[in-house]
Every structure is written in structure tokens, then in C-alpha cells.
A and B are shown apart, each in its own frame.
Chain A
Amino acid sequence: MATHSPHKTDPQAANAARWTHPVAWTLCVVTFLLLWVGGLVTTTKSGMAVPDWPGTYGHNLWLYPWQTWIFGPWDLFIEHGHRLCGTLAGLLTIALLVLLWRHDERRWMQYVGIGALVGVIGQGVLGGMRVLLGDRLLAMLHGSIGPLFFGLTVAMVVWTSQTWHAATRDDSTTSLQSRLPLASVLPLASIASLLVYFQLVLGALLRHLPVTASPATFSTVVKAHLFLAAFVTLAALAMTWRTSVRGMPNAVRLAGRATGGVVAVQVVLGLTTWLAKYGVPDWAEQLVQTPATAIIADGWWQTHVVTAHQATGALLFAGVLTTLLLAARWAPDRASIVRSNRANVTSGTRATT
């Protein structure tokens, strides 16, 4: 079996990773929490619970009385919590940027750090403008850009990891042969990433449609969301299947499997979201037992299932993106593939002779 043992890591890179990788991970986790709480803001319609920005009811964001935050109205708790979480993500982004400039010698990575800072500030301002203008379009944009920033933090985790530093393109024939399947993972992961992101945007659109939108508009978006869900599922599962072939680097296989698991959870959550929000549709009454009592609006079950569906969508985006980045790291380039094919033809000809 072909191996992909890590090559000796550059000591400087290893040193940089020791500093940057944990912070990148922390930023990634905090951003996921931020997305989850942001989802709660939308689910509970708490976006306008605090009418001013960047302060909270005239107080500095960090100095807002914690008793009012914790023991006050639920929507205030969620919205102010989202803001606090956002500033924590901002501070972590600054810390990561400083560490990247101090320890990571890759110039492009340093610029990625700057990009992340611009991203987190931009996203914060967008959220603030959404509050000040009370505009649903801005809310939708804010909801669509959130997963992009989360994707960037996931990419930064990958790019600062030992696995990334250790992976090299060993073009020896044996290694090349085993890495050829990666060439087919790349397009699948790229397509899956694009589809998942479009799906997230559609989800944000659905969640932020104004109450004045027509039933036809809402139905169209729901149908598009369902239609795209089928393609997302197929693309993600196809990608998972391609990453499970023999000889695939462990990291790629692991990312592929995790993505397959997340997509399964997400499909279940999608169906459950509809049930939790609007009940059992007529066509499904033979499949799902209709509860004898009505759904409880804004109850624990409804709130968290709907929010989990949104957050898991972002997690799915993280999965396909990670697979894409890792596959791209290991995949042989086109010239190597051509050389390999030629070598195969030559050896085949000799054998025949």
C-alpha cells in the first residue's frame, strides 16, 4: 500500500504552527459559536432587541450591566451575547494576525491574516448597519457572509496545521500512482463547496424574507432550497466516496468521512426544521405521526432545531472546504499526471514486447 508518511517538517514552520495553530483553532470554534448564536438571533427574531450600535442601550458593549444581560429579556440576552461573541472573534483575529506576522514566514499567510481582520471588521459593521437601518437585505448579507468568514477560519486552521506543513508532493512513481484519485476529489470538492455556499445563501434568503414578501416568492425560494439540497447531498456524498479509496492520505479521508456524516445529519435536520416550524405536511402524514398537540412557537425544540440546521450548514461548508484544501495540497499537478500516464504506457509496451 502506498504511504503518505509526513515528510520532515521545516522546523521554522513547526515553530510557527505551535503558536498560530491553537489560536486559529480557538478563533474557528468561537466563530462557530458566533454563527450558532447569530442563528439564534434570527430564529428568535432578536435582531432588533438592541436598537443601537456599536453600544448596547447607550453603554459601551463590554460595560453593559451583566445582570441586565443575563437576567433581562431573552432576545436581549441573545443579541447582546452575539455582539460579545463577535468582539471576541475580532480580538482573536487580531491575535492571530500578530502571531502570523511574528512567527509565520509565509507572506501569503500573513496577508490571509490581514484579510481575516478586514473580514471580521466588515462583518461586524454589516451587522451594526443592519441594526441601525433595520434592513432585512443587510441582515441577509450579514447571514451570508458569516459562513464565508467561518470558512476562512477553517482554512486558517488547515493552513497552520502540522499536516499542511508536512505534506509535500512526492512525485516518485509509487506515490504518484496512489495520489491520482485525489485529482478526481478536487473537482468534486470544488463543486460541493460552491453548492453548499449557494445553499447557505438561499437559507439566509429564506430566513430573512420580509413579511411583505409574496407567497410565490417564499415558495420559489423553498423549492430552490430543496432542489439544491439534493445536489449538495449528492456532491458531498460523491466526494466522501472518492476520498475513501485506497491510498488516500488519512487527513483527506478523515475530512471526507466527517463531511459525509455532517451531510447526513444536515438532511435530517432540514426535514426536522420543517416539522418543527410548520408541522407534518399532508403528503407525509402516512410516514410521520402527526402530534396530537400543536407545535409550540419559539419553544426549545423549534428554536434549537431550526438554529442547528443553519449552523450545521456552516459546518458542512467547513467539511467540504477542508477536504478541498487538503486534496489540493496533496493532489499531483497536471504535468506529473501526464508523466505518470506516459510511464504507464511505456512500461505496458515493454511488457507486451
Chain B
Amino acid sequence: MLIGCGSPSPPEFSPNRLLSIGQGSTREQENELALTLTDLFGTPDQPRAPAGTGLEMAQLEMAAGAVGYEGNKPQDEARPRGLYRQHCAQCHGITGDGYGPAAAMLSPYPRDFRRGIYKFKSTTRDAMPTDNDLRRVIVEGLPDTAMPSFQLLDNDQIDALVEYTRYLSIRGQVERELVAMPASEWNQKTVEALVQEVAKRWEMADDRVVVPDPDSLPREDRTPAEIKKSAQLGEAIFLSAAAKCMECHGKTGQPDRLTELDDWSRENFDFRTETAARAESLTAERTRVEGMAGAHRERAEARLQELAPPLRARQQVVATLLEPEYAKPRDFSSGIFRGGSESIDLFRRIHQGIPGTPMPAHGSPRPGVAGVLTDQEIFQVVDYLKNDSKNRE
């Protein structure tokens, strides 16, 4: 073949080794997990929709595979293929793990879909996003990040990308649950039940949309004076000890310190720390063994030999990880709100916090239970933030 190039090998989904090695999975268990996932979800070129997930195969096929057209025909009736690889994989990676080629150069890092945690959505903190939430991010993009707006794509192409994102998330969540499940409990029934359980969380998303108390909604016909008054009350709440906004965002809305990791970096950071501690412990143990003699030494050396391969596996994983990144509280002086700048967007951000980040929920966690702030107070803070950022522009 010309200069040694044959047909390129098809891309494969990468295993979540940080998770499996972290859980102490053996190589055999990792292989079995990979086979189970392939049985359930197929490959990047030939995806499968496991029963009960409600994933639309036609849409998955449109997003999956190599870039081109169905039947290799560009006529009107032919559908494009490989949309995910064309538009998303460069940053989010083939597996949706946020490890695309460009990932290390971007800040914030591209989203890892495998946990099913999305920052900007309309649902409660622990719920999955709705299709409309995913659709909105794809269509509008996220300002002040590398996530662009795909508004030029056709509706059916956007739908296909939404579906594929959901597919990658469900796959990643099932993988996570399987790693956590003892291998002895794996069988067709338990795996299917697990898939159904994960899929159900996605089905329920529409029922988990955060709707403000109708009495708290700001009237549309408010006068500038009324808005100003509301913003002043909001400012007082923002600066109050109870709301704790200042702790991260600063008094003026310009954060000056970064001390906390988000969930994605936390997992990465903990894995690195644990690996470094194990390496240090192994080195100390080696030094101790060198001073031993006889049968004691032989036993200790045998123990050391058992410890070395898992450590090597951990170190191999660490070598592939992105540097952990501190969560950056929003700088309100920029006037840019990544998850949308409508009042309802900001309300939901404050009410439920931002999932996966240190931004906590301030609203009522469930009906009948009081939150840190009432819905009305949250809208007052929203008025303050919107008013304040406008004044700074």
C-alpha cells in the first residue's frame, strides 16, 4: 500500500481507566467491561441503542461514523453522516470524555459527557438535562468558552447531535455504574436493569424542570424605578453572609481567588494524589526491604512485586490526564453569562447552583423545604446581577 497507509483502523471508544483502575479492576475485568459495553452500545462507527433507552437509531447513525453522506450520494434525500466526528470530537473526543485533541489547550476544558452532569440546564441539580437544554447549548454555544454555536446546522442535524450526546452520556453512566458493581453480580439481567435505570433518569428530565413560584415572577411591566429597587435589595442579599456569594465572586463580582476544583478535576486530582502517595509508600517500602534478610526479605519482596504493577497502571493513566483545573467563579464585570442571560436562566443558576461545580443551590431543594433564599429573593439577586453588569458595560 502507498507509503504504508492502508484503510485507517476505525476509532474505538476509550475505556474510563481512571475509574476502573481507581476501583482496582483487573485487566480481565476491564476487558469484560469493554465487551459488555460494545454489546450494549456498539462502536463509534456502528452505534447501538440498548433496549429501553429510547435512543433513536436513525439519529445516532446520522451523528456517528466517518464524515460523509448516506449511500455516498449528496442528493437532497441523502442524509449526512459523521456529524459528531465533524463538529464535536475535536474537543469532546470520540468517547465524549472531554479528551479530544484540542482539549488541553482550552479553558474551561471541553465537557466530559460520561458523568451525565451538565452545568447549564433547566432541571434540578441532580437531574439530567432535557433535550431542549442540550439543544440550546449546541445551537447557541457558550460565550467566553471554546464551545461554538452550531446555529448553521439544520434542525435534524442538531437533533442528531443532541441524541448522540445523550447516547454518549448514557454509555458513560452505565460504564461508571458497572465499574462500581461487583463483577460477581454482572449478568444479563443486572446489566439490563442498570441500563433501564440510567435511561429512566433521562426520561424523567422533563418532569424535573425548575419552575419558579408564580407569585415570585417579576412583572413584565415593571418601571425602571421598581427594577432599581429590586436590584438594590438583590445587592444586599448578594453581600449578605447568608447567601455567601461574596466568598467566591468577591464583593464587586470580580473573583480574586481560585481554591476549589470542579467534580471532573476533583476525580482527576484525587487519583493523582493517591497515585503519588502509593508511589512514595512503595519507595519507602523498598528502602525498608533492602535492610531485611532471609525469609522476611523474600516475603517482603514478593509483596512489593504484587504492588508494583497496579501502581504502574495508575501512573500510565496519570500520564494521559489533563492538568486539574480550578473552578472559576463567574466574573460578573464581564457581563457575559455562559448559560444564558435571561432572568429565568440566572434564576435557575442561583436556585439549583451549577452541577459539578462548587456553585451551590440557594433555592428550595424540594417542595415544602425552605432554601437559603426564596424565589423572590433570587429574582432580586438576578436583577442586581443584570443591572450591575449593564452599568459596567
Q: How far in angstroms is the closest Cβ of chain B from A122?
A: 11
- B152 and A296: CB pair below 8 A? yes
- A222 and B335: CB pair below 8 A? no
Residues of B within 8 A of A (CB): 2-3, 5-8, 11, 66-69, 72-75, 85-87, 89-90, 93-94, 99-107, 140-152, 320, 322, 334-336
Residues on A with beta carbons closer than 8 Å to the beta carbon of B322 = 215
Q: How far in angstroms is the closest Cβ of chain B from A304?
A: 14
* With A133-B5, A279-B145, A296-B152: A211-B104 Cβ-Cβ less than 8 Å: no
Whole-angstrom CA separation of A212 from B66 in the bound complex: 12
Q: How far in angstroms is the closest Cβ of chain A from B20?
A: 19
* With A57-B73, A134-B7: A219-B146 Cβ-Cβ less than 8 Å: no
Residues on A with beta carbons closer than 8 Å to the beta carbon of B90 = 211
Contact with B along A43-63 (1 / 0, CB 8 A): 001001111100001000000
- B151 and A296: CB pair below 8 A? yes
Residues on A with beta carbons closer than 8 Å to the beta carbon of B320 = 214, 216
Q: How far in angstroms is the closest Cβ of chain A from B195?
A: 26
Q: Is A295 an interface residue (CB 8 A)?
A: yes
- A49 and B68: CB pair below 8 A? yes
* With A211-B89, A296-B148, A299-B152: A217-B101 Cβ-Cβ less than 8 Å: yes
Whole-angstrom CA separation of A135 from B101 in the bound complex: 17
Whole-angstrom CA separation of A292 from B5 in the bound complex: 45
Compute the total of residue contacts between A and B using a CB distance below 8 Å: 126
Residues on B with beta carbons closer than 8 Å to the beta carbon of A279 = 144-146
- A129 and B140: CB pair below 8 A? no
Whole-angstrom CA separation of A137 from B5 in the bound complex: 8
From B8, B86, B151, A135 is in contact (CB under 8 Å) with B8
- A211 and B8: CB pair below 8 A? no
- A295 and B148: CB pair below 8 A? yes
Q: Is A166 an interface residue (CB 8 A)?
A: no
Whole-angstrom CA separation of A151 from B107 in the bound complex: 38
- B152 and A292: CB pair below 8 A? no
Residue among B67, B94, B107, B150 facing the most chain A CB atoms (10 A cut-off) = B67
Q: Is A73 an interface residue (CB 8 A)?
A: yes
- A57 and B74: CB pair below 8 A? yes
* With A138-B5, A292-B143: A213-B101 Cβ-Cβ less than 8 Å: yes
Residue among A129, A291, A294, A297 facing the most chain B CB atoms (10 A cut-off) = A294
Residues on B with beta carbons closer than 8 Å to the beta carbon of A216 = 104, 320
Residues on B with beta carbons closer than 8 Å to the beta carbon of A50 = 74
Contact with B along A273-301 (1 / 0, CB 8 A): 00001111110000000111111111100
Residues on A with beta carbons closer than 8 Å to the beta carbon of B101 = 209-211, 213-215, 217-218
Q: How far in angstroms is the closest Cβ of chain A from B158?
A: 11
- B148 and A294: CB pair below 8 A? yes
* With A217-B101, A222-B105, A278-B106: A211-B11 Cβ-Cβ less than 8 Å: yes
Query: In this complex, what residue of A is CB-closest to B151?
Result: A296
The 7 closest A-B pairs by CB, nearest first: A294-B141, A215-B104, A218-B101, A297-B148, A211-B89, A278-B146, A295-B148
From B89, B105, B152, A278 is in contact (CB under 8 Å) with B105
Query: In this complex, what residue of A is CB-closest to B141?
Result: A294
- B6 and A133: CB pair below 8 A? yes
Whole-angstrom CA separation of A133 from B145 in the bound complex: 35
Residues on A with beta carbons closer than 8 Å to the beta carbon of B335 = 292
Residue among B7, B75, B105 facing the most chain A CB atoms (10 A cut-off) = B105
Q: Is A68 an interface residue (CB 8 A)?
A: yes
Q: Is A169 an interface residue (CB 8 A)?
A: no
- A290 and B94: CB pair below 8 A? no
Q: How far in angstroms is the closest Cβ of chain B from A348?
A: 59
Whole-angstrom CA separation of A76 from B147 in the bound complex: 26
From A129, A215, A290, B100 is in contact (CB under 8 Å) with A215
- A294 and B99: CB pair below 8 A? no
Query: In this complex, what residue of B is CB-closest to A222?
Result: B105
* With A133-B7, A294-B140, A294-B147: A215-B99 Cβ-Cβ less than 8 Å: yes
Residues on A with beta carbons closer than 8 Å to the beta carbon of B104 = 215-216, 218-219
Whole-angstrom CA separation of A39 from B11 in the bound complex: 25
Whole-angstrom CA separation of A124 from B72 in the bound complex: 21
- A135 and B149: CB pair below 8 A? no
User: Can you report 25 A-B residue pairs in the complex whose CB atoms are below 8 A from each other?
Assistant: A49-B68, A50-B74, A52-B72, A73-B74, A133-B5, A134-B8, A138-B5, A210-B8, A211-B93, A215-B99, A215-B101, A215-B104, A215-B105, A217-B101, A282-B107, A290-B143, A290-B144, A290-B334, A293-B141, A294-B140, A294-B143, A294-B145, A295-B148, A297-B87, A297-B150
Q: Is A72 an interface residue (CB 8 A)?
A: yes
- A51 and B5: CB pair below 8 A? no
Residues on B with beta carbons closer than 8 Å to the beta carbon of A52 = 72
- A211 and B85: CB pair below 8 A? yes
Q: Is A103 an interface residue (CB 8 A)?
A: no
Residues on A with beta carbons closer than 8 Å to the beta carbon of B146 = 277-279, 295
- B94 and A211: CB pair below 8 A? yes
Q: Is A4 an interface residue (CB 8 A)?
A: no
Query: In this complex, what residue of B is CB-closest to A296?
Result: B149
Query: In this complex, what residue of A is CB-closest to B104?
Result: A215
Interface positions, chain A 310-348, Cβ under 8 Å from B, are none
